[in-house]
Amino acid sequence: MVIIGSSELYAQAPIKFEVSFKEPQAHYVEVQMEIKDVSKDYIDVKMPVWAPGSYLVREFSKNVEGFRAKTVSGGELGVQKMTKNTWRITTGKEKTVLVNYRVYAFEVSVRTSFVDASHAFLSPTGIFMYPDGQVKRPAEVTIKPFKTWSRVSTGLTPVDQKQFTYTATDFDVLFDSPIEVGNQDVFNFTAAGVNHEVAMYGGGNYDKERLSADMAKIVESATAVFGENPNEHYVFIVHNYQSGGGGLEHLNSTVLGASRFAYGTENGYKSFLSLVAHEYFHLWNIKRLRPVTLGPFDYDKENYTTDLWIGEGFTAYYDNLLVRRAGFYTEDAYLQLLASDIAAVENRPGNLVQPLSESSFDAWIKYYRQDENSVNSIVSYYNKGALMAMMMDLKILKATNGEKGLDDVMKAAYNEFYKKRAKGFTDQEFKSIAEKVAGISLDDVYEMVNSASSPDYNKYLQLVGAELSDLNKGYEIPDLGIKTTISDGKLTVQNVYRGSGAWEGGLNVKDELIGINGYRIDIAGKELERTIQASKIEDVVKILVARDGVLKELDIKLGTNKSGKYLIKFIDNPLPEQSKLKDKWLH
C-alpha cells in the first residue's frame, strides 16, 4: 500500500524511534530515528516549533545537540542545517537512514520536556522529529528507561510482545501523546465505560481511593454533556511539585501540574478537580470539536484563530460548572467562582482595549508573552470567554423555557463538525449552529466578543434570579494606581494602571519607591499606604523614586480606586420561571 503525502509518494513504513537516557542527571534524552523507504538524494528532517494547545512558538530545536545521520552499516551521511528547525541529510542511494541526536530537557511545565535522575517527562513536539511532508506517516516508539526506572505511562498504543514499545497512526497522534517514564505511582478507575490511568509523579498527600471516586464523577459529568466518550483508554499524567499548576490537553491524555500537599485542603482539592474537569472537557472541545485552523496543524509556524474564546473560554466555563454538577461546590460557592471571573475581567484595564476575538488571534504574541503593561492592553480569553459562555447559556435557557442550554449547543456542534463533517468550524458556522439550537439571534453575545467593552452581566443573571453587585460601589477611595513588589530588597513599581494618577504623572515600572511627601517609604510600603489613605482624591503627592540610579521627584495627582469587589447571589423571592431556569442551569 502506498500513501500520497503532502510532498512525495512513499510507502507506509513506520518511522521508528528509540529513546534512551544515558545521562538523566544532566537532563538529556538520547533519540535514534530510523527512516525507511527514502526515495530522493536528500531528506529534510524537521522538529516542531510549538506544542498544540499552547499557543506560542517555543523553538524546541534550540535544545537539540549532536545531530548526525548514518547508513545502516554505519557510514556517515552529510548533514546541513537549512533552517532553525530543519536538517537536510544527503542520502545518495541509501533507502534507510539512521538519525541520532540528543535533547536537553530541563524546563518544568506541562508543555515542555523535563528529565532528571528521578524521572523523564517527554513532551513529544520537543523530542520527536519528522521527515518533511510526511506527517501522516505512522510512527513506532521504543522507550529504554534508565536502569532505576520501571514504568512508562502514555496514551500511545502498546505493541504486543514488545515491552515499552508503542505505535501512532501518524505524527499528529505521536505529537499529541506525552510520555512519562520513571517510577510513578499509578492507579486506575473506570468511568463512562472508559479505563482511566492516573500516573502520579512527585508524591503528595493525595488519597487514591478518594481521587478515583471523585475524578470518576467529573468524567461522568463531562461525558453527559456530549452523550458519548470518544476513548477506550485515557491517561492523566500528574506532576506534583512544591508549587505546581496548569494543564495541557491531548487526544486521549492530559498533563496536569499540582501542588503535592494541596490535596489536603478543601480549596486545593476542589481546585484540582476543576483542573481535571477543564482538561477532560477538552477531549471534546478543542481536541475534536475545534476551530477550523486548529488541525491539521502546521508545526512550522503559528496557527491563527479568533475562536479560542470558544475553545478555551467555554472550557473554562464548564470546568467549575462540571464540579458543581458533580456535587462538590455549593450553589453559593459556584456563584463566587463566577464573580471571581468577573473581577479578573473588570479589574483589568485591558478589558476595554482588546476585543475577545483579537485576544484569541494574538495569543501567540501577547497572551503567552505578557509583560508589565499586559494588564493595560490585553484581556484573557479564558476568563472573559467563560463569561460569554455563561451569558449564552442563560440566554438559551430563557429562550427555550429551560428545554435547551449551552450543553445542547456543544453536543450539536460536536455531532455536526466532528462526527458528521470531520472538520473544524468557522466563526460563523459555530454561531449559526448555536442560533439554530437557541431559536434566537445571538448577535448581542457576538457583539461583546468583537468589541472591547464591559457586559451588562445582570441582564443575563437575572434570568435565573441571580444578581451581581459591586461591594466597592459608592466608596470614593484615593488611589495612586500602581502595584508594587519587593525586588532585590527594594520596594519597586511592578505595574502602572492605565488612566491612573501614576500613569498620567509618569511613574514607571521598576522605579524604586523611596519617599512620599518628604518621608521615607519603608520596604513594606506601610508609609506609602498610610499617606494615600490619609489623602483625598485629586490631592497631589510628591513621590521620590530612584530610576536607573537617578533620583527623581514626581507630582502625582491621586485618582479613585476603580477596582470592583464583586458578589453574585440569588434574590430572595425569585419568580417561578427564574427558579426553574436556575435548576436547569446548575443541576
Grid cell listed for 513: 519607591
pLDDT confidence bin for 8, thresholds 50/70/90: very low
Q: Could you give the C-alpha distances from 309 to 55, 140, 210, 382, 453, in angstroms and in order?
A: 13, 35, 33, 6, 15
Task: Give the per-residue SS3 of 44-113.
Answer: EEECCCCECCECCCCCHHHHEEEEEEECCCCCEEEEEEEECCEEEEECCCCCCEEEEEEEECECCCCCCC
pLDDT tens-place string over residues 45-77: 999 999 999 999 999 999 999 999 999 999 999
pLDDT of residue 43: 97
Identify the burial level of 317 via C-beta atoms within 10 angstroms of its C-beta, where 0-12 means exposed, 13-18 middle and 19 or more buried: buried
pLDDT tens-place string over residues 124-155: 999 999 999 999 999 999 999 999 999 999 99
Whole-number Å distance between alpha carbons of 81 and 485: 44
pLDDT of residue 3: 36
pLDDT confidence bin for 33, thresholds 50/70/90: very high
pLDDT tens-place string over residues 91-134: 988 999 999 999 999 999 999 999 999 999 999 999 999 999 99
pLDDT tens-place string over residues 488-528: 999 999 999 999 999 999 999 999 999 999 999 999 999 99
Grid cell listed for 2: 502506498
Whole-number Å distance between alpha carbons of 271 and 465: 26
Q: Would the pLDDT of 5 be above 90?
A: no
pLDDT of residue 92: 87
Task: Give the per-residue SS3 of 15-42.
Answer: EEEEEECCCHHHCEEEEEEEECCCCCCE
Q: Is the distance from CB of 49 to CB of 43 less than 8 angstroms?
A: no
Rounded to two decimals, the pTM is: 0.95
Q: Would the pLDDT of 13 be above 60?
A: yes
pLDDT of residue 97: 97
What is the overall mean pLDDT for the chain?
96
From 2-11, 291-300, 511-520, the region with the lowest mean pLDDT: 2-11
What angle do helix axes 406-413 and 383-399 make, rounded to 10 degrees? 100
pLDDT of residue 12: 72
pLDDT of residue 50: 98
Q: Would the pLDDT of 432 be above 70?
A: yes
pLDDT confidence bin for 4, thresholds 50/70/90: very low
pLDDT of residue 10: 43
List of E strands, 445-532: 466-470, 478-479, 482-487, 490-496, 512-516, 519-520
pLDDT tens-place string over residues 540-554: 999 999 999 999 999
Grid cell listed for 123: 513532551
